[in-house]
Structure formats: C-alpha cells, structure tokens
Amino acid sequence: MNRNKNYTGIDCFRLIAALLIIAIHTSPLSSISETGDFILTRVIARTAVPFFFMTSGFFLISRYSQSPEKLIKFVRNILRIYGIAILIYLPINIYNGYFHMDNLLPNMIKDLLFDGTMYHLWYLPAAAAGAVIAWYLVKRLDFAKAFLITVVLYMIGLFGDSYYGLSERFLGLHNLYDLVFQISDYTRNGIFFAPVFFVLGGWIAECGKKEKPFLLKKIIFRFILNFFLMFCEAMTLRHFHIQRHDSMYLFLLPCMFFLFTLILHLNFNLMNKLRNKKHDNYLQDYFRTLRSVSSIIYIIHPMMILVVRLTAKLLHLQDLLIENSLIHYFAVCFASIAFGMIFSLLYTNAYRIHSAPAKNRAYIEINLNNLEHNVKVLREIMPPQCELMAVVKAEAYGHGTFPIATHLNRIGVKAFAVATIDEGIALRKYGIRGEILILGYTDVCRVSELRKYDLTQTLICFEYANELNKQCAKWKARTIAGSRYKMKTHIKIDTGMHRLGLPYNNLEEIKELFSMENIEVTGIYTHLCCSDSLLADDVAFCEMQTDRFYCVINDLKSNGIAIPKLHIQSSYGLLNYPNLRCDYARIGIALYGVLSTPDNDTILKPDLRPVLSLKSKVILIRNICKGESVGYSRTFTAKRNSKIAILPIGYADGFPRNLSGGKGSVLIHGQRVPIIGRICMDQLIIDVTDIDNISVGDTATLIGENKGEELSASAVANGLDSISNEFLCRLGARLPVVVEYT
C-alpha cells in the first residue's frame, strides 16, 4: 500500500472519529434527551474506534504493504504512545487512589494488557494485539479464512457485550464469560473486538479500486441500510435490557465496511477537486496534519475534560460549562483540538529539524497516474482476448519493483515476467498474485522454490527441460506434498534469434516436452529480435519468425496436443505487429512510457507517458573566475567568470560518467544547463551562470519534465550510444524511490 498517496477522506474522518470518541466520554445530549444521547454515543459514535482499527489495517495488512518490519514498527509505535499516555495519566491515577486497590498486581496486569490504565486507553493495547492477530492470520490463511476466524472471535465478544443478556439467560454461558471477565473487564478488546476490523481494512485495501461514480448511490444506500439495521438492533437490545455493555453490534461489521468504502470514494472525489485548486499542496498538507491531531485528541481529551471542569469551577461557570452537557462537549472539543493543533505544529517543526525528507539528495520519482494511463492505452491496442504481461525485471527497468508491480496488480494486471527466480520470489513476497514467468535460467536444484512460490519456469532447451523433469521427480520422491505436483513451464521457441529456446525445426523434442511426467506446459512463446525496426529486411525477418512459430503451433495441433497460452509480442512487437493474435503481450519498456531510442519509428503511436523522473538537489553554489578549472583532471576551464552548482548524484547512482564534459545536461528552473567537468562517483557539477535566482535546495531534473522543458530517458541514452532500457536499469542502486499519485 502506497503511503505517499493522499487519503484526504480518511484524514478528515479521523478528526470526526476523534470528536465522536469525546462524545462517548462526555454524553453531549444527556441534559437534553437521554434517548438522543444514547443514539449519539452508543450507536453513531460506535463507528469511531472500528474506523481507527480499519484505517490501521488498510495501511498495514494489505498484501501490498504486508511486511514483518511494518508490523513491528506499528506495534512499537503503539506501545510507545501507550507508555507516554500511561505516564501522562499517572498523577490522576495516584490522586484517585489506584495504587491502593485490592489485588493490585493482577489488576495492573489486566489493565495494562486489556482495559487500559485510563478508561479510554484500552484502544492502544487492543490495537497492538489486534494488529498482530490479524496480520498473522492473513499471512498464514489469506483474507477469507482470516475474516471467518476473526468474525468468530467477534461473535464471542458480541455475546459478552451487547448480547450478554442472551448468553447469560438462555445460552448457559455465564460461567465461561465470568472466566473471561476475570482476565478483561470487557470483551471489547484486542482479542475479540479489534482483529476483524484490522482484517476488513486490509481486505478493502487488497481489493479496493476507485469506485465508479455510478456506484456511489449503491454504496450510500447500503451504508444507510446497514446503519438503520444497527440502529434498530441497538434500540431493541436497549429496550429489552440485554446489553452488558453496548460497544459491539452484529450490524456494525457491514456498516463499517460500507462506511469505509464510502470514505475512500469521497476521498477520490475530494482529491480531484483539490487538484484543480491553486493552493492544493497547502490544503493537502493541512489535511495530512489531521492524522497526528486526531491521535493527540484521542489521548488527551480526558485531560481536557478535567481542564474544562477545573476552569468552570474557578470561574464559577459550572451551570454553563458542566451542567449544560452540549456546551460542555463543545468546550472539551475546542480545548482538545487546540491542544492537538499546537502540539502537532511544535512536533512537526521539531521533526523537520531532526529528520531528513525523502527528497533530500537525489531520488527517482515514480508517477503512478502515468503508469495507469500507459496500461490503459496499451490494452486498447492489444488484440481481442489478449492480456498484458508486465515485464518487471531489473527492478522494473530501474523504476522500483515494489511500487510498480504492486500497483499493476491492484489495477488488474495478472501476469508478470521476470528474468530470475529471485525476482519472482520477491514479487510473491510483495504479495503479487497471478502468473509470474521466469524468462531466464533457473538452476534445477531450486525446484522446491519454484513450487513454493508458484513460479512458471521457461524451458530454454530440451536438455534443460529433461534435467528439470528429473530433478522434480527426485524432489517429489522426498516430499509428500509434491506427489501430485507438476512444474509449470512455458516453452520458448527459437525462431531465429539463436539465444534461448528450442529450435523451431526440432518438432520431436518440442512434442516430447508435453509428455514429460513432472512438467506441465502452460505456455509457448518466442521473441522477435528486430521488431523495433521497420526496414524491409527486418520486417521480412520478423514475419519469417512468426511463420515459423505458427508452423510449430499448427504441427502440435495436428498431433492432438492442446495448445496452451501463446505470446510473441514484446513492446515493439505490439507497436509494429498489433494484429498478431496471442494470449499475452509481454510489455516492458513501453509500459514505462518510453521507447528504447528517440528515433524509433513505430506503426502504432499510442500516447505513452514517462513514469520515471530523476531529480537531485542543489547543495552548493560557487563562483569561479575565468581561467579556473573544475573537477577531476581539470577537464573544464572557465572561459568567463562563472557560477557553478553541485548536485549530489554520480555514477554510483547509475548516472553515467560518459555524460561528462558537456555531453549531458540537466533542467533547472525550466532551463537546460550543461554538466561540466567529470561526473564523480557521488557528485556532478553544472554551469548555472545564466540562471537567475538559483539557490541551495533548488531541484534539478536529470530525466523528466521541468516547467515545460523535457529530458527524456531515450534522448539521454541516445547521447551515450545506448538505449533507454540499459540506462534506466542502471538507476536505483542507492537512490530512494518516491511515489507520486496525484
């Protein structure tokens, strides 16, 4: 899950949820209407805590963001906040005589683990426990089974909460729940209550896409319907006095599902509007501060309740600020928000001083909007029934495998191609589903890993296939789980490139692959070696390759062999030979919005947009006099009094040394300036004499667009007598990837 994306809807509702939590603890309508207060605090406000749990699950448990490191970091942060909160409220606990109670040690343990050392702090240990339970259930069992288990836990908690009267009177579970209540005063805790909402949040992140506008009415209707059912449920339980507490409702689960989906939908619409505003960046930053403010409000509002009550006594305003429950609520809200805003601003400023932003030196910037656009336009030109197979080898051509592959998977791409088994394993660990084809060689000793991670191996020659078949047999003999397993493979046919693959004219060996006991052929493909050229000889060669390929396919058909999925086209294969009927199109460089060279001419010219930009910061500006030299070997000598700037990026970051000495340039303030002297391992120097108002911290663009000017990857690579494929793959050895999704 991409945290750089703005979730403004979620951030806005965080504040609403925090104010609902205050309502639960202040009963705003109690002096006006007891029933109205019940509806507000025991029905409407019961969506607040589940929302917080779902938000955490949304960012933590989706397979696109699921990692032990993130879980550990989340739990550590929650426990740190819990520890700080315990210290904040320690004086109040001492004043209230907490440490003079009977059975102090067991009660302290119970409060620390379940109930919270202050009445509202139960949320924090519940969040930590719920996150761990949900994370491991999803990791081990997947979402459907994890959801079923957490629903069972929720139902156990439900009959110890809002339905306790039924379990006590009719179900004969009184003794069981008495035992539970010796451990925790509530079933609204991290075992019975929190996990299901973490799983729901992760599941929405897993499956959720931007809702289409025509579905908004359905979402609203389903939310209103389920909220009405929850309201009826709560009022019925209250009427018959069934609740022990009133935190958990049966219809709370579907209600929260549709509420969260609605919030995400509204987030999308709101961001579209903000994008067109003059001050959209300011507004987005403002909304993001709500994340920390809402957390602070949750922690600090009981203290603000005391502050308001103390102020009322000092000013003799008890009738106004205390007895009037609505004004009391607004006063607590005002004090809590004010404290939260002040603390958040102070913390943010301190944090900026002590921490470096992601864009502090040099970085790769990835535009996921452009990636989505490219997928859309490429799919439009594919033959009917053809699927896109995204080639994400070499860190997705230098773009960063994780952000690229996970986003492609989320928007519906279900087939991927990599070069090595380790790249395939990495995709599976990122949570990628669908077919993952290894285009290159894998040592046959790694058969168990191919099976474990459900990877598809290319058969690069007959001898290799035979060894793979034998190794698979040995592995199956040692493993009960592998007794019925067949290795999924694609046959590569060498139709003239003479690199990998079985020769097209060796039909007997190709047919024999289909009868190997431990190998399942799920695809056949070839590679067009000169599909990027429209010269007559190259076109004729490509046509010969395709004829040879289909001759093999027709021969297999005539021998009664069922034909698996076929693929021929790579990026240029699709752009120059769009009418080839295949099951997959293996798209690499075109997926990222660039062509290999700027002078490549293609039959189809779709509107592809570059996904990657390469940027760096100006860290130093110097004035040099005419005749002074710059850099290693003094290859540049100033012919005039000049101003130079240092960028902290070099060939160790993948920016080629061959662009030294004026061969390369960068964009800054919308102007192209030359790279002078030798590019170093970690720095390069640019001549900014003709740039006005340049200062330290300005951004320089080495690949990408800057105020209407553009340096394309293909143009830069062409200056190196190379191609953009090679140039882009060099990047990223130590550069951070910053994801932009506007």
Catalytic residues: 393, 632
Q: Tell me the HSE value of 523 on the side-chain side, using a 13 A CA sphere.
A: 30
Spatial contact of 482 and 453, defined as CB atoms under 8 Å apart: no
* Euclidean distance between the first and the last CA atom of the chain, given in angstroms as a whole number: 15
Give start and end residues of each alpha helix (H) in 159-215.
Answer: 164-169, 174-183, 194-207
Tokens, residue 119 = 């009445």
Report CA torsion sign: 7, 10, 14, 19: positive
Q: Would strands 435-438 and 415-418 be described as parallel, antiparallel, or unpaired?
A: parallel
Tally of residues, the chain = 742
- DSSP state, residue 563: P
CA separation for the pair 395, 594 (Å, rounded): 16
Enclosing H/E stretch for 307: helix 280-314
Spatial contact of 560 and 364, defined as CB atoms under 8 Å apart: no
CA separation for the pair 593, 227 (Å, rounded): 45
**Any residues with CB less than 8 A from the CB of 446 and at least 6 apart, and which?**
421
Instruction: List b or e across 90-126, with b for residues whose CB sees 16 or more CB atoms inside 10 angstroms.
Output: eeeeeeeebeeeeeeeeeeebbebbbbbbebbbbbbb
CB atoms within 10 A of CB 555: 14
Closest by CA to 445, choosing from 461, 421, 423, 481, is 421
CB atoms within 10 A of CB 89: 22
**Any residues with CB less than 8 A from the CB of 409 and at least 6 apart, and which?**
64, 431, 432, 433, 434
Spatial contact of 477 and 444, defined as CB atoms under 8 Å apart: no
Report CA torsion sign: 376, 492, 545, 536: positive
Instruction: List b or e across 661-682, with b for residues whose CB sees 16 or more CB atoms inside 10 angstroms.
Output: beebbbbbbebebbbbbbbbee
| Burial of residue 130, with CB atoms counted within 10 A of its CB: 0-12 exposed, 13-18 middle, 19 or more buried | buried
Enclosing H/E stretch for 586: strand 584-587
Q: Tell me the HSE value of 485 on the side-chain side, using a 13 A CA sphere.
A: 26
Closest by CA to 117, choosing from 152, 82, 148, is 82
Give start and end residues of each alpha helix (H) in 212-279.
Answer: 216-239, 252-274
CA separation for the pair 99, 183 (Å, rounded): 19
Q: Would strands 612-617 and 699-706 be described as parallel, antiparallel, or unpaired?
A: antiparallel
